[in-house]
Chains A and B, each alone.
Chain A
Amino acid sequence: MGTISSAFSLISGALDADQSALSIVANNVASANTPGYTEETPNWQENSPIQINGVFYGSGVTQTGATSLRDRVLEERLNQQQQMASASGARLAALNSIQALFPPDSGSASATAGDIGSDITGFFNSFSSLEANPTDNALRQQVLSSASTLAGDVSNAAASLNEQRAALDQDASGITSQVNSLTGAIAQLNQQIQSTSPNADAGTLEDDRQQDLSQLSKLIGVNQITTENNGLSITTTSGQLLVSEGSSFQLTTGMASGVTHFYVGTTDVTSQLASGGGELGGYLTARDQDIPSVMSSLDQLAYSVSTQVNAVNNTGTDLDGLTGTVANPLYIFNQPAAVAGSAASMSVAMTDPNQIAAAGLGQGTGDNSNAAAMANLASQPIANGQTPANFYSNFVSTLGSTVSSVQTENTAQNASVTQLQTQNDALSSVNLNDEASSMETLERSYQAASQVFTMLNTIMASALNLGDQTAVS
């Protein structure tokens, strides 16, 4: 090989490589504000050495393409955290709406709209008042009025829960088309990536695919599996295939037991999606677990109060001297047939206040022993081993704990997403911060936060033990 042409080749190669690298840098700068764009760096390949007069000389480099500064492991963790944050966010919104239906017991005997705790107190107190003057018509009217308030608030709450369940069902169903659109787009991008760039980074095509995957992660819980030639398969978190390289599998819906179920092919994946994450996971958890659980407690309360009060009233003597019979029972509430559905159907059956059986069996109409027995139900463990007021109070408290716990999870998951996004930006976006500095910040933050946590924990423990301790060592 001639020396001048070799040297020229070496220089021109270097110039070409530099020019190519400059184009990549220019592209990075131009795309700095494009969402999801990943910075590219030039790849350099050493050329074969040149032999001149028996001595080998390096022949420079050739720019062989660009590699995006992406990291699938980090992106996958970001997507997973995003799925969890979206799920807890959607569930939290639903739980907040549910909680608004059940204000804690105000402690007042005077019933306020929706305050079931006060309704319970007011209802049983009305029997205590009647006990003092069992023939008083106004006091008898007050019993029916407070029964009506209690039944109305319970059935309204049940109706609102059913409405919320239907709204969640609609929200969940509405996600299907978005999921299908995204999985279809990812399959298409897979094909393009595999055909145009099977052995190298596919640059913006991979950015587009990552953007779609990120959107998909907000909607449902997915796992991603990297396949040959830069391909990507996507499954639900329990392994149901949604995208296999160039093919996507549609999510379809159908009604079952009054709610929307989700299918891939003929497989019902509803419960898988509920536990998987994403907004859909949150909606389905609220629809299939939280609301049924709340409804079940409300049903139990309605069933216990209705059946127990009816049973006691039915065994007493009313103002007309009558006692309940199988054919003509003296029921204050409509008698529920089963626990399920009791809350929604809770209503007052009695219209004549004279039918309140304040007197005991075989006693004169001026007797008050049965009114006392009904007032006494307030302190009896008639609702799953608890008094009605305690049952309601514990149910509201449990609901509050669930809301608080999901709120905590959601805050932590959103914080984690923010942190990972920062790390991902430092690694893959057009950003002046380099990765090392970003890692150092993460480490510093964690160490400082650990110190803050330890000290706050000590301060709080000491504060809570102040009775025994006056200072912290």
Chain B
Amino acid sequence: MEELGGSWELKELVAEASRALARLDADRLEELALSCQALNRDFAPVSAQSRTDLVRQACEADGEMAVFARVLEATRANLNVMNRLRELRAGRLEYGEPQARDWAGTEGRHGDH
């Protein structure tokens, strides 16, 4: 986990990913993805000590992984809602539905003036 710029425990890495996802810090998440890619590629603990240490870290990170999974799940649900809203607005623009009500959203911004 040296790729992250320090000696990170797996547990901290997962918690950091959850926090970054909560605040939608795409840059940080992409940075973490690269770190994990490197970690995954170089994953070959040789000594018994490093194996034991990694097993311990994996066990300790279990709770944080559950949190990360739930945040990811919630994000997917939020993304679905936002995509549906975008389609809805696009549909309204396409079919020229009147924008009298607040639903119309952003199309008012680009009215035919």
- Report the minimum CB–CB distance from B90 to chain A (whole Å): 12
Q: Please measure, in the bound complex, the distance between the C-alpha atom of A444 and the C-alpha atom of B75, giving whole angstroms.
A: 11
Contact, CB under 8 Å: A43 / B75:
no
Contact, CB under 8 Å: B74 / A415:
yes
Contact, CB under 8 Å: B113 / A17:
yes
Q: Please measure, in the bound complex, the distance between the C-alpha atom of A453 and the C-alpha atom of B29, giving whole angstroms.
A: 10
From 420 to 470 in chain A, residues with beta carbon under 8 angstroms from any chain B beta carbon are: 420, 422-423, 427, 435, 439, 441-446, 448-453, 455-460, 462-464, 466, 470
Contacts of A46 in B (CB 8 A): 112
New contact pairs (13) apart from A73-B88, A459-B10, A463-B57, CB-CB < 8 Å? A46-B112, A61-B113, A74-B81, A404-B63, A408-B70, A445-B29, A448-B32, A449-B71, A449-B75, A453-B72, A455-B37, A455-B40, A457-B65
- Report the minimum CB–CB distance from B15 to chain A (whole Å): 10
Contacts of A17 in B (CB 8 A): 113
Q: Interface extent on B, as a size class?
A: 35 or more
Contacts of B62 in A (CB 8 A): 460
Given B24, B72, B103, which contacts A441 in the complex, CB threshold below 8 Å? B24
**Which of the listed residues B22, B37, B82, B106 has the most CB atoms from chain A within 10 Å of its own CB?**
B82
From 238 to 297 in chain A, residues with beta carbon under 8 angstroms from any chain B beta carbon are: none
Contact, CB under 8 Å: A466 / B51:
yes
Q: Does B45 contact A (CB under 8 A)?
A: yes
Q: Please measure, in the bound complex, the distance between the C-alpha atom of A189 and the C-alpha atom of B37, giving whole angstroms.
A: 54
Number of interface residues, chain A, beta carbon within 8 A: 65
Q: Please measure, in the bound complex, the distance between the C-alpha atom of A472 and the C-alpha atom of B41, giving whole angstroms.
A: 7
**Which of the listed residues B20, B24, B72, B106 has the most CB atoms from chain A within 10 Å of its own CB?**
B24
Digitize B4-30: 1 where CB-to-A-CB distance is under 8 Å, 0 elsewhere: 000000100110011011111110011
Contacts of A74 in B (CB 8 A): 81-82, 85
Q: Please measure, in the bound complex, the distance between the C-alpha atom of A52 and the C-alpha atom of B78, giving whole angstroms.
A: 54
Residue of A nearest to B88 (CB): A73
Contacts of B66 in A (CB 8 A): 408
Residue of B nearest to A74 (CB): B85
The stretch that binds B, out of A64-72, A97-105, A334-342, is A64-72
- Report the minimum CB–CB distance from A40 to chain B (whole Å): 9
Q: Please measure, in the bound complex, the distance between the C-alpha atom of A449 and the C-alpha atom of B27, giving whole angstroms.
A: 11
Residue of B nearest to A230 (CB): B101
Label chain A's interface by main secondary structure: helix
Residue of A nearest to B23 (CB): A418
- Report the minimum CB–CB distance from B16 to chain A (whole Å): 10
Residue of B nearest to A18 (CB): B113
Contacts of B69 in A (CB 8 A): 453
Contact, CB under 8 Å: A442 / B40:
no
Known contacts A418-B22, A456-B65, A462-B43; A43 and B111 CB within 8 A of each other = yes
Given A68, A200, A445, which contacts B25 in the complex, CB threshold below 8 Å? A445
Given B55, B81, B101, B108, which contacts A463 in the complex, CB threshold below 8 Å? B55
Contacts of B84 in A (CB 8 A): 73
Known contacts A43-B111, A456-B14, A459-B39; A419 and B105 CB within 8 A of each other = no
Known contacts A460-B10, A466-B55; A441 and B26 CB within 8 A of each other = yes
Known contacts A452-B33, A455-B40, A463-B55; A44 and B102 CB within 8 A of each other = no
Contacts of B77 in A (CB 8 A): 416
Contact, CB under 8 Å: B81 / A77:
yes
Given A71, A414, A423, A471, which contacts B103 in the complex, CB threshold below 8 Å? A71
Contact, CB under 8 Å: A413 / B74:
yes
Residue of A nearest to B66 (CB): A408
Contact, CB under 8 Å: A464 / B36:
no
Q: Please measure, in the bound complex, the distance between the C-alpha atom of A444 and the C-alpha atom of B79, giving whole angstroms.
A: 11
- Report the minimum CB–CB distance from A422 to chain B (whole Å): 6
Contact, CB under 8 Å: B85 / A456:
no
Contact, CB under 8 Å: B24 / A442:
yes
Given A414, A446, A456, which contacts B76 in the complex, CB threshold below 8 Å? A446
Contact, CB under 8 Å: A44 / B78:
no
Known contacts A74-B81, A416-B74; A200 and B100 CB within 8 A of each other = yes
Contacts of B106 in A (CB 8 A): 41, 69, 427, 435
Contact, CB under 8 Å: B82 / A442:
yes
Given B36, B51, B79, B100, which contacts A459 in the complex, CB threshold below 8 Å? B36
Known contacts A73-B85, A404-B63; A449 and B113 CB within 8 A of each other = no
Contact, CB under 8 Å: B70 / A452:
no
Contacts of A71 in B (CB 8 A): 85, 102-103, 105
Q: Does B61 contact A (CB under 8 A)?
A: yes
Q: Does B3 contact A (CB under 8 A)?
A: no
